[in-house]
Amino acid sequence: MASAPARWSRVLLKVSGEAFAGDAGYGIDGGVVAGIARDIVQVSADTGVEIAVVVGGGNIWRGMTGAGAGMDRAQADYMGMLATVINALALQDVLEQQGQPTRVMSAIQMAQVAEPYIRRRAIRHLEKGRVVIFAGGTGNPFFTTDTTAALRAVEVEAQVLLKGTHSGTDGIYTDDPRTNPDAVKLDEVSYLDVLNQGLRAMDSTAITLCMDNDLPIVMFDLTGDGNVRSLIEGGSVGTLVR
């Protein structure tokens, strides 16, 4: 089947760590990761779009959880950064099994398993058709992987940030649709409305960074079959924030 032209030439996909866990809620579900990888490989091959990925680590460890239990927040956040490296290596392995050249770049240096994050090198990898997976968060505590995704997207000059959700929620709603049946899905919303109305999207630091750099965000259901392809080919999927 012929593929429609891609609406963007370079995108950054944010994948939450919880998405890797599947129904188990913890750890890594190989079938789920393989499905995410398959979507990335097919879209890259069919459209030629350059794809960078930021992975979370919530399926293994969340810094806020540790801080809530009395652990030093910075220490807990560093543990969360290491969890993102585990997920990045898992995704890299599955992508390469499917024939997609991939590089993992970590903000925390660990030369045996990942390249150090260097902006120009990351851009060169993308230009050569490699999927680049950014791990280790920003390398600093107190920042979420949503903020990492916004930062890396701006740095590598991605044209959009695709925020993939995993809970079956297919965009931004006026309230939590899982608890409020009257919640209304928003097809498009402004950065300021997300901030002022406290809409469930990304944290305020990430939203502000995208707003300051005119980087559009699309929040969509990552687990929906063909959603990544549909988005990149111009389909109306999820909620556009701009």
Q: How do residues 15-37 score in pLDDT, each as one tens digit?
A: 999 999 988 889 999 999 999 99
What are 152-194's pLDDT values in tens digits? 999 999 999 999 987 767 899 988 888 888 888 999 999 999 9
Residue 144 confidence class, pLDDT cut points 50, 70, 90: very high
Report domain extents, the chain.
10-241
Q: Which pLDDT belongs to residue 4?
A: 67
Among 2-16, 65-79, 137-151, which stretch is predicted with the lowest mean pLDDT? 2-16
Strands (E) across the chain are located at 10-15, 50-55, 102-106, 115-116, 131-135, 160-165, 172-173, 185-186, 188-189, 217-221, 239-241
Among 75-79, 116-120, 151-155, 222-226, which stretch is predicted with the lowest mean pLDDT? 222-226
Residue 200 confidence class, pLDDT cut points 50, 70, 90: confident
Q: Which pLDDT belongs to residue 3?
A: 63
Cα distances (Å, whole numbers) of residue 55 to 59, 72, 91, 233? 11, 23, 9, 23
Q: Which pLDDT belongs to residue 33?
A: 95
CATH number 3.40.1160.10 given to 10-241: yes
Rg (CA), the chain: 17
Rounded mean pLDDT, 72-92:
97
What are 201-221's pLDDT values in tens digits? 889 999 999 999 999 999 999
